[in-house]
Amino acid sequence: MKALLSGQAGVAVLLDGDHMVSFNLDSPDQLLPVAESDIPHIFADTTDVIQLDHTSCDRVVDELERLWRKDRALHLTLILLDSGAETETRRMAAEYLEEQVVATDARDFVCNRLYVAPLPAHADLSGAQGLAAKLQSNQVSMLLNELKRDQARIQRCRETWDSLRSDLFGGIEAKQIFQQVAVDSGIFRRLAGDECDYRDIEAAPKLYIDDSRFQEFENCAEILTTWATAAMRAAAALTPAAPAAAAVPAAHRRFYTGRTSVTEEGRHLDLILETPMLLETHQLQDLVGGVSSGLVACERSEIGDIYRYELRYRGGLFPSSAHALEHAVELQLLKLAIRGESEDFHGERYSVWDVDTRLFPNCCTEILSALMLVGTEFAREKLSHIRDCWQEEVRGNTQMIESTNLFDPDHKFYYRLRDQIARRAELLAWIDQYLSGNLEAASRYAEAHGLI
């Protein structure tokens, strides 16, 4: 028995010799006779019709359900992103989308399409993220966060695709057909996604040459190589090249990640939280101090590039974090230049906070954004860790202002840092409320302080 199926229509036609029947996904037991001339009507305007050979009824139902789920997941995503859709409809879309994208094939189907071109200006990605976070739709949140993170890459990848000459494919129509296969197979997503590092890009053509869907394209290898190379150049323009680890002196190697350290499933959440966390904890001082002293002390320019690369890469996920991080380094450099020494003035790990408090509001925003985006147990764990670090800092800074107050006759520094510590303590209280499940009180605090 053969079968024709469409998830968009939610209909399958079973062909057994001359006998043809159709059924709807909602009532698979209700078989309706079909004339051959009706088949174009049944599948009119659908674009996802597939044929199964030597199949069974059960398999057709399963496959139809799978196709339907993928199609509806895409529609729900588009509704969720649609700024013109009603809030309640978008809320429902987020809720039901979570059920669909739990399945890997539905999630891949949606992502493969969302990565073909950047979102249009009227798409409301932030609103969608907010709705998903409020509903604790973790899978949807993750999908949207990744989509937001990769928009610039998607734009570049699209531009490289558009720049490929159609004669490379054998004409405009052939290029369109190739594009469809490329979308289905996820090449756009692969080339535009964050996991695509340079080695992946170079390996991409080899990977997809074995994909049977590309077999009909004679010059598939040339196309993919040309495209991947162009995408690699575009990606390189977005992200500074990672210097070779061998070039990093042992003393500075701890600041060097080379973008290879985080590969597990939770890496995205980790990265979201890593940057703001760095801004607030000892790791920040460690990083800022290391980068600053490295830039000052290092005579070899490539080592300076390593630090700049590290700074840009870590900060690239959140522009305001990057700004704050760069600002911190500038301050530290300024301090070093004034004093002419690489030692910190206080010799303490709280040095960045002592000098300026502008990092703090940026960090609050980022932490809260991250929290809004990822209302997960993972986020709670991270937040709990941040709280512990901050508590330690508050204790340290409180002790420190008491001692430095003796050398601060007009108390300017004292008042500034005291306010800073007070605000930090407030935020710690908010985090406590959040972690203890008192979301209402946490929301009230956040709204009152303009944090969300």
Partner 1 sequence: MYATFYQLVRAESRRPEDNEFDRFRLQVDTALFQHYHEEIRFAALSIDGRGVSTYGDYSIVLREVAVRHRATVFTENSYLFFRHNEMKIGDPVPAGHRATWNDRGRLAGAKLGPKLDTDTHQEDFPSLLLAAGTTTANDDFIEVHIYGPVHRKAVERVVGPKQVRKADKVLLQDLKRKLRQVGAKYEACS
122 forms part of the interface with partner 1 (CB under 8 A): no
Classify residue 219 by its DSSP letter. T
248 forms part of the interface with partner 1 (CB under 8 A): no
3-state secondary structure of 24: strand
In the complex, the smallest distance separating the C-beta of residue 44 from partner 1, rounded to whole angstroms, is 7
User: How many other CB atoms are there within 10 angstroms of residue 342's CB atom?
Assistant: 12
CA pair distance 171, 287, nearest whole angstrom = 52
Site for partner 1 in 60-79 (CB under 8 A): 72-73, 75-76, 79
Taking CB under 8 A as the criterion, the residue among 4, 5, 13, 34 binding partner 1 is 34
Per rule CB under 8 A, count of chain residues that contact partner 1: 27
Of 84 and 120, nearer to partner 1 (C-beta) is 84
Look up tokens 């079973």; give the residue. 14
Of 30 and 56, nearer to partner 1 (C-beta) is 30
CA pair distance 240, 390, nearest whole angstrom = 32
- Burial class (CB within 10 angstroms; exposed 0-12, middle 13-18, buried 19+) of 337: exposed
198 forms part of the interface with partner 1 (CB under 8 A): no
Look up tokens 């070039």; give the residue. 247
3-state secondary structure of 115: coil
In the complex, the smallest distance separating the C-beta of residue 90 from partner 1, rounded to whole angstroms, is 9
Of 17 and 84, nearer to partner 1 (C-beta) is 84
Taking CB under 8 A as the criterion, the residue among 1, 32, 164, 425 binding partner 1 is 32
- List own/partner pairs for 181-187 with CB under 8 A and 24 or more apart: 181/213, 181/214, 181/217, 183/112, 183/113, 183/116, 184/112, 184/213, 185/112, 185/211, 185/213, 185/214, 186/108, 186/111, 186/112, 186/115, 187/224, 187/227
222 forms part of the interface with partner 1 (CB under 8 A): no
Taking CB under 8 A as the criterion, the residue among 29, 37, 261, 450 binding partner 1 is 37
Q: Site map for partner 1, 38-57, x if CB under 8 A?
A: x-xx--x-------------
In the complex, the smallest distance separating the C-beta of residue 11 from partner 1, rounded to whole angstroms, is 10
Q: From its phi and psi, is residue 281 left (phi > 0), alpha (psi between -120 and 50) or beta?
A: beta
CA pair distance 421, 426, nearest whole angstrom = 9
177 forms part of the interface with partner 1 (CB under 8 A): no
Site for partner 1 in 410-429 (CB under 8 A): none
Of 99 and 348, nearer to partner 1 (C-beta) is 99
218 forms part of the interface with partner 1 (CB under 8 A): no
In the complex, the smallest distance separating the C-beta of residue 383 from partner 1, rounded to whole angstroms, is 32
Of 47 and 301, nearer to partner 1 (C-beta) is 47
Stretch that binds partner 1, among 29-37, 207-215, 289-297, 334-342 (CB under 8 A): 29-37
> Who contacts 254 (Cβ-Cβ below 8 Å, separation ≥6)?
290
Of 26 and 440, nearer to partner 1 (C-beta) is 26
Taking CB under 8 A as the criterion, the residue among 16, 62, 86, 381 binding partner 1 is 86
- Burial class (CB within 10 angstroms; exposed 0-12, middle 13-18, buried 19+) of 311: buried
CA pair distance 289, 329, nearest whole angstrom = 7
Copy the structure tokens of residue 408: 């601060």
Using CB under 8 A as the criterion, which residues of the chain lie in contact with partner 1 when the complex forms? 26, 32-38, 40-41, 44, 72-73, 75-76, 79, 82, 84-86, 88-89, 92-93, 96, 99-100
